[in-house]
Amino acid sequence: MVYLTTAYAPYFALNAVEDEGAALIVEVDTDHLDPARCFPDEDFVAQCLAYQEKRPLVAVHDGVQADFGAYQYLYALSVERLGNLAYRGTIPADAITRYVSLTPESQPELCMMSMDPCISPLNYQFCGPKYRSIIAWLFGDREDFEVWGAGPVPGWPPPEQVSAMQSVWKNRAGISVITKGGSL
């Protein structure tokens, strides 16, 4: 399975970096994927079943993996509620639209903001907008990103934190966006 995400790409990419390498985030046009090969993230199914059945997650997870094909129909809900899906097979080359190369040493604040997820439906409900906006910012699709998840708290953040975030938004050092036609 290849796991695709609308939210946690920086987290997964940064965890895959070895030594002083660059993180790579690949954008995939899901309209070019075969729906028959799309599956929910098994963690989504296991977390939902554990909650519904009031059982420990570890008691449910192995059963979900053993009968994974039975849950195939839940893949769109997995994207909607967790931000993830699994794709059985190779991603077709024509589905790859562009990618971002990110040098972690050039973006320490951004990397710290991307390394905090608890990957669950509840976290995605509150922090999904933040994670999705970071990805959009990395690809150059917006000039800033949300920092506070589902929305700011009145009186928060302090002005010094807003000022610090503005400097992060202006710093695109170590970020390269590559499209099929070349670099952006």
Residue 86's pLDDT band, with cuts at 50, 70 and 90, is very high
pLDDT digits (tens, 9 = 90+) for 68-79: 899 999 999 999
Residue 180's pLDDT band, with cuts at 50, 70 and 90, is confident
Share of the chain above pLDDT 90, in %: 64
Give the mean pLDDT of 37-49.
95
pLDDT at 27: 97
pLDDT digits (tens, 9 = 90+) for 140-175: 999 887 776 555 566 666 777 777 777 788 889 999
- Reduce the secondary structure of the chain to three states and give it as a string: CEEEECCCHHHHHHHHCCCCCCEEEEEECHHHCCHHHEEECHHHHHHHHHHHHCCCHHHHHHHHHHCHHHHHHHHHHHHHHHCEEEECCCCCHHHEEEEEEECHHHCHHHHHHHCCCCCCHHHHHHHHHHHHHHHHHHCCCCCCCCCCCCCCCCCCCCHHHHHHHHHHHHCCCCEEEEECCEEC
Query: What average pLDDT is seen over the chain?
Result: 89
pLDDT at 112: 86
Q: Residues 62-83, buried b or exposed e (16+ Cβ, 10 A)?
A: eebeeebeebeebbebbbebbb
Q: Does pLDDT of 184 surpass 70? A: no
